[in-house]
Amino acid sequence: MSIKYAYLGPAGTFTEAALLKIAASDDQLIAYANVTAALDAVRKGEANKALVPIENSVEGVVARTLDELASGEPLVITAETTLPVTFSLMTLENKDPKDIKSIATHPHAESQCRSFIAKNYRNAQVIETASTAAAAKGLRKGDYDAAIGAAIAAKNYQLKIIAEDIGDNTNAVTRFVVVEKPGKSPAATGKDRTSLAVFIAIDHAGALLEVLNEFAKHQVNLSFIQSRPTGSQLGHYHFIIDAEGHIDDKPVAAALAGLKEICEDIRFLGSYPQAK
């Protein structure tokens, strides 16, 4: 049975490239303008699953993904995948590289290619776009002279790649998560991750330490922790936590039970196999 996937579009993003790694040939891939729209497509039943970025090894977390998972109608992560992020500089077929006066790309991509731009196009205007694929799409229409993005975008929009692997960090990797409506968690594999949104009852000295102690007490290792504002008032935060292990593992279950005694609320965001 084919699956309808929503993903961060338009066509030609790194998210699409990551999705092509895991989707079956008969699955339907539907591009959405932003992370919120892709996740809402699952909430509304327009798609069975969504693939969205959650973390980059250079730029850090994708804040919108974290915030969307922690609020609104509940969704859970059921899988993850990673993708090495390599950037290409592309132009229209007949463009002379010496004539490049404007380069479009997403701000995250620009920040990872600053050395290349400074060295080769220091006088070019850098134009921010909603995604690297949107930059490629605009280039196809002639809105600017060049674009930085994924190689898949050059293929989708019939563009010429004039420089490859232009990122400042050649080991950059982005982690993506598959998100669905709540249901039965994938079975434990022995190499799993459990994600939680933890809301502390009262903001007081040692509140975060109390949370961390619950995991330490049961010897559960944490691979990720990030504070995010609750939006209720200045200075109030919740925490997104990734713990190693599955919710069905006794140590993780025990830590979660302990958290429920000291936290105002906990949102279970899923237990799923770690990406290889």
pTM recorded for the entire structure: 0.88
User: What values do phi and psi take at 206, rounded to 5?
Assistant: 90, 5
Go through the domains of the chain in sequence order and give each one's CATH number: 4-85+172-180 (3.40.190.10), 88-163 (3.40.190.10), 192-273 (3.30.70.260)
Q: Which of 24, 33, 21 is nearest to 82 (CA)?
A: 21
Across the chain, what does the average pLDDT equal?
93
Secondary structure letter of residue 121 according to DSSP: -
Give the three-class secondary structure for 19.
helix
Worst-scoring range by mean pLDDT, 91-105, 174-188, 221-235, 243-257? 221-235
Tokens at 167, concatenated: 């990122």
> Per-residue pLDDT for 201 more than 80?
no
**Angle at Cα 250 formed by Cα 244 and Cα 252, nearest 5°?**
35
Helices (H), 28-89: 35-43, 63-70
Q: What is the dihedral of CA 247, 22, 37, 182, to 10 degrees?
A: -30
- Non-local (6+) Cβ contacts of 123 within 8 A are 101
Burial of 158 (0-12, 13-18, 19+ CB in 10 A): exposed
Cβ atoms of 211 and 259 closer than 8 Å = yes
Residue with tokens 């006088």: 123
Q: Residue 213 and residue 259: Cα distance in Å, rounded?
A: 10
β-bridge partners, 29: 5
> Per-residue pLDDT for 236 more than 90?
no
Q: At what angle do helices 207-217 and 250-262 cross, to 10 degrees?
A: 160
> Per-residue pLDDT for 205 more than 80?
no
Worst-scoring range by mean pLDDT, 144-148, 193-197, 199-203? 199-203
- CA atoms within 13 A of residue 49's CA, in its CB half-sphere: 19
Cβ atoms of 196 and 268 closer than 8 Å = yes
Model confidence pLDDT, tens digit, residues 135-179: 999 999 999 999 999 999 999 999 999 999 999 988 889 999 999
Rounded to an integer, the average pLDDT of 191-200 is 95
Rounded to an integer, the average pLDDT of 237-259 is 95
> Per-residue pLDDT for 60 more than 90?
no
Cβ atoms of 154 and 160 closer than 8 Å = yes
Percentage of the residues of the chain whose pLDDT score is greater than 70 = 96
> Per-residue pLDDT for 234 more than 70?
no
Rg of the Cα atoms in the chain: 21
Q: At what angle do helices 35-43 and 63-70 cross, to 10 degrees?
A: 30
Give the three-class secondary structure for 82.
strand
Q: Residue 24 and residue 12: Cα distance in Å, rounded?
A: 18
Secondary structure letter of residue 99 according to DSSP: G
Q: Can you give the pLDDT at residue 59?
A: 81
Model confidence pLDDT, tens digit, residues 110-120: 999 999 999 99
Residue with tokens 């989708």: 156
